[in-house]
Amino acid sequence: MAETIFERLGGFSEVRKIISDFYERVLDEEDLAGYFDHVDMRRLIDHQSKFVIQLVGGPAEFSDEVLHRIHRPLGITSDHFQLLAGILRETLEDHGLDGDDVTTIMAEVTRREPIVVTQYG
């Protein structure tokens, strides 16, 4: 049986480290930080870690419907989504993920752009 990206990453604790680093970078980005002004970051990092684990072969937690419901009131723009995706790609690469694994994860993230983006133009 082929090893999943989740297994290659080393499990939940390693994914959590990557996601924690990702959000440190996001919060340093002036255009994105405002989305997180009143957010419990520990809780968000936990949820986002579970979401990424789902994307890389771990147990499923979030349906596309749930993702849409959570993100709809935030007014996320396409530009901000792209900025966030770029930060995620950079974070994954900086943590030494294989290029194919990064491509797979980013394809799954990109597939969900229409689910979380509500502001275009």
**116, 76 contact by CB (below 8 A):** yes
**57, 4 contact by CB (below 8 A):** yes
**What span, in angstroms and rounded, lies between the C-alpha atoms of 110 and 1?**
27
Tell me: the pLDDT tens digits for 76-114?
Answer: 999 999 999 999 999 999 999 999 999 999 999 999 999
Asked whether residue 121 carries a pLDDT value surpassing 70, the answer given is no
Q: What is the pLDDT of residue 61?
A: 76
**What span, in angstroms and rounded, lies between the C-alpha atoms of 114 and 102?**
20
Tell me: the pLDDT tens digits for 33-72?
Answer: 999 999 999 999 999 999 999 888 887 778 889 989 999 9
Report the predicted TM-score, pTM, of the whole model to 2 decimal places: 0.91
* DSSP summary character for residue 35: G
Tell me: the pLDDT tens digits for 11-37?
Answer: 899 999 999 999 999 999 999 999 999
**CATH H-level, domain 5-116: superfamily:** Globins (1.10.490.10)
